[in-house]
Amino acid sequence: MSDEKEKIHIFDRPENVNRLLKGFYAICILLALADFVLHRHIGFDWEKIPAFYALYGFVACVLLVLIAKQMRKVLMRKEDYYDE
Amino acid sequence: MSELPPFLLYFAAALLVAVTRGLPRQLILLATPVVTGLYLWLGINPGTDVAYTLMSYELSFLRTDKLSLLFGYLFCIASFFAVIFALHVQDTKQHVAGMIYAGSALGAVFSGDLISLFIFWELLAISSVFLIWARGTERALKAGMRYLVYQVLSGVLLLAGALVYYHNTGTLAFNHIGLDAGVAGWLIFIAFGIKCAFPFLHSWLTDGYPEATVTGTVFLSAFTTKVAVYSLARGFAGEEIMIYIGVTMACFPIFYAVIENDLRRVLAYSLINQVGFMVTGIGIGTALALNGAVAHAFSDVIFKGLLFMSMGAVLYRVGNINGSDLGGLYKSMPKTTALCIIGALSISAFPLFSGFVSKSMVMTALMQENHGYFWLLMLFASAGVFHHAGIKIPYFAFFHHDSGIRTEEAPRNMLVAMGVAAALCIFIGTQPQYLYALLPWEVEYWPYDLTHVLAQTQLLFFSALAFVWLNKQGLYPPELHSVNLDAEWFYRRLLPAGAQRTLYLLRSAKESTLTTVTTHMQGMQNEFSKSPMAKYHLSESWPTGSMVFWISAILAAFLLLDLFGLGR
């Protein structure tokens, strides 16, 4: 690595990260609201729940991560587990 | 011209690549997929069936229809970008293995009978393992061996199934087989299932692929599982059990992917998850579902190749692919970052990217066939894909906290290879009609309507929101140096431990038997020496030395007698 002062990159500035996140939240809100304006075709009954896909995506991912975290307690071993 | 099986072009190229070096070799490597692809496109019509007689048996090496041709084109495209990605590699062994491997995949999808299929099935196994061994590490050597055992086992089952099938039906033609074919059907089904990474038969994939070379994994991810998907689509379309298997495959690996540290292993798990969508489609068996399955195989090879290439480029530059040690690489590898994100958006099935136009067919087919709960599970798997492959891969490698690693952008050939794949992802995603025109079954389908686009975008954005929220709350599990137990535990830990335990038991049994016998002998000896018989000279125990001495003395006496002619 060189000693010269390194360039400041885009995500080194917290305000850029915040801007990105704010934009992202705004899109999420718009998408959820769109569900009340636009009409989706309904295949299954549960699709009738307002913002079904948004709720499902959020809940699914939170559950996924929380369950996976618990799985670590049972499944995780040291890196050289098989090499012993 | 149209009688030449395309795999021969690859095998010939493998020979040439073995004897050439430098630029000529690079040109041969690049030309082979292009020439073969053009030959398939222009020179071969669906419905060709060319057989070769070998040892009085007819091997059908070139049976073409839209299904086999689709995979033929796909394998040419995949080997094209894989070859570009590996163009800088000097190692002859890897290039030869890559060519034979890709050629065998082509051979397998154009095989019209089960024996030809078996030949290429085994060639796939043998050629591909060199891509793992070429890494040269102890781990790669062992993982390659385990991988080979699985692959060869699959071949043996296929051969056994083919022979039983021939016995029962009197034909070896490779068409729809079905599980109604009894033992033969099941043997062949399991043989396909091993290569397709069915649950509990999958660990060769997550064990072997991450240990392969930087460029080898790109080849590996393209061919083996997709040949299996093709074979299942041809032999077992509409077998309901595959819906259960496919949904399981789509769901269980995502949990592992969340906690896995090696980012190439994360991709290996997500490969199984994507193949799960294909297997489900084949299991549903309607025209739309089957088209969805093979179309998804088409897009998957390209976007999964792109993701493996981007992680390969990181491994090549940094020498490490553990999520726990990376981060902030977008600063030094911005182009790789951008290309990786295109792959991530494609695998997550964002509208306008390739995964969207193929995966939505399987989802729609599930809906049409009224599989409500499976549909919910697959929707969960879709959200999960985005979570681990779409966000985790680029986030932990290129963003996250700055790991302090400063390196160079990926080499130019790697960038070109990734560029080709990324362009195809976007092309298929925005112009799906060209892919749809190649699909084997006749059905009208168009993915871009308001419902699909809105629903998918909501699903993905809120999955991303969950990631952001979990991270902000500190609930997201950190990347840790670790190994997670999977099906391989049974043969890497339980079996060896069991064998050792058995050996230990046998050894202690032997020792106790010996002790018992010697104590008894000793006891008898003691009893004997107390008896009056023991007083006689002959009943004493003599040392062996004196016995040998007396025997030689007797022999010498005989010799002398003989020499002097006495006793005759």
The CA-atom distances, in angstroms, between B133 and each of B63, B148, B203, B518 are: 33, 11, 17, 51
pLDDT of residue B98: 96
pLDDT of residue B268: 95
Q: Write the DSSP symbol of residue B85.
A: H
Check residues B53 and B367 and name the one with the higher pLDDT. B367
> Which helix or strand (DSSP H or E) is residue B61 part of?
strand B57-63
The CA-atom distances, in angstroms, between B246 and each of B139, B181, B357 are: 30, 21, 19
Does A40 contact chain B (CB < 8 Å)?
yes
pLDDT tens-place string over residues B91-116: 999 999 999 999 999 999 999 999 99
- Average pLDDT score over residue span B433-443: 92
Give the minimum alpha-carbon distance from B378 to chain A in angstroms, rounded to a whole number. Answer: 11
pLDDT of residue B253: 93
pLDDT tens-place string over residues B115-150: 999 999 999 999 999 999 999 999 999 999 999 999
Give the minimum alpha-carbon distance from A15 to chain B in angstroms, rounded to a whole number. Answer: 16
Q: If DSSP codes are grouped into helix, strand and coil, which group holds residue B362?
A: helix
Q: Choose, out of B399, B458, B485, B492, the residue to mutate when testing the contact with A (most A CBs < 10 Å).
A: B458
Residue type, B391: I
Q: What is the mean pLDDT of chain B?
A: 91
CA A9 – CA A7 distance, rounded (Å): 6
CA B113 – CA B117 distance, rounded (Å): 6
Percent of chain A residues topping a pLDDT of 90 = 33
Percent of chain B residues topping a pLDDT of 70 = 98
pLDDT of residue A1: 43
Give the minimum alpha-carbon distance from B191 to chain A in angstroms, rounded to a whole number. Answer: 27
- Average pLDDT score over residue span B394-411: 87
CA B10 – CA B112 distance, rounded (Å): 19
Contact of B216 with B94, CB cutoff 8 Å: yes
Q: Given the DSSP bridges, would you call strands B57-63 and B49-54 parallel, antiparallel or unpaired?
A: antiparallel
pLDDT of residue B352: 94
pLDDT tens-place string over residues A32-75: 998 888 888 888 888 888 889 999 999 999 999 999 989 888 88
Beta strand spans in chain A (E)? 76-77
CA B429 – CA B291 distance, rounded (Å): 16
Domain regions of chain B by residue span: 284-508
pLDDT tens-place string over residues B297-322: 999 999 999 999 999 999 999 988 99
pLDDT of residue A3: 45
Long-range CB contacts (within 8 A, 24+) of A11-18? A11/B330, A11/B399, A12/B402
- Residues from chain A contacting residue B406 (CB–CB below 8 Å): 1, 6
pLDDT tens-place string over residues B313-363: 999 999 889 988 888 899 899 999 999 999 999 999 999 999 999 999 999
| Residue B395 pLDDT greater than 70, yes or no | yes
* ipTM for the complex shown: 0.90
Q: What phi-psi label fits residue B159: left (phi over 0), alpha (psi between -120 and 50 degrees) or beta?
A: alpha
Percent of chain B residues topping a pLDDT of 90 = 73
| Residue B2 pLDDT greater than 80, yes or no | no
Confidence category of residue B243, pLDDT binned at 50, 70, 90: very high
pLDDT of residue B1: 45
pLDDT tens-place string over residues B8-26: 999 999 999 999 999 999 9
pLDDT of residue B534: 73
* Structure-block tokens of residue B65: 């229809």
Q: Residue for token digits 């034979």?
A: B100
Does A46 contact chain B (CB < 8 Å)?
yes
**Spatial CA neighbour of B72 closest among B347, B278, B297, B360:** B297
User: Which residue in the set A34, A35, A56 is minimally distant from B379, CB to CB?
Assistant: A56
Give the minimum alpha-carbon distance from A81 to chain B in angstroms, rounded to a whole number. Answer: 7
- Cβ <8 Å between B454 and A74: no
Q: Residue for token digits 């003691």?
A: B526
Burial B166-197 (b: 16+ CB within 10 A, else e): beeeeebebeebebebeebbebbbbbbbbbbb
- Residues from chain A contacting residue B402 (CB–CB below 8 Å): 12
Residue B147, phi then psi, degrees to nearest 5: -60, -45
- Cβ <8 Å between A65 and B258: yes
- Cβ <8 Å between A79 and B466: no
Closest chain B residue to A35 measured between Cα atoms? B454
pLDDT of residue A2: 44
- Average pLDDT score over residue span B274-293: 96
| Residue A22 pLDDT greater than 90, yes or no | yes
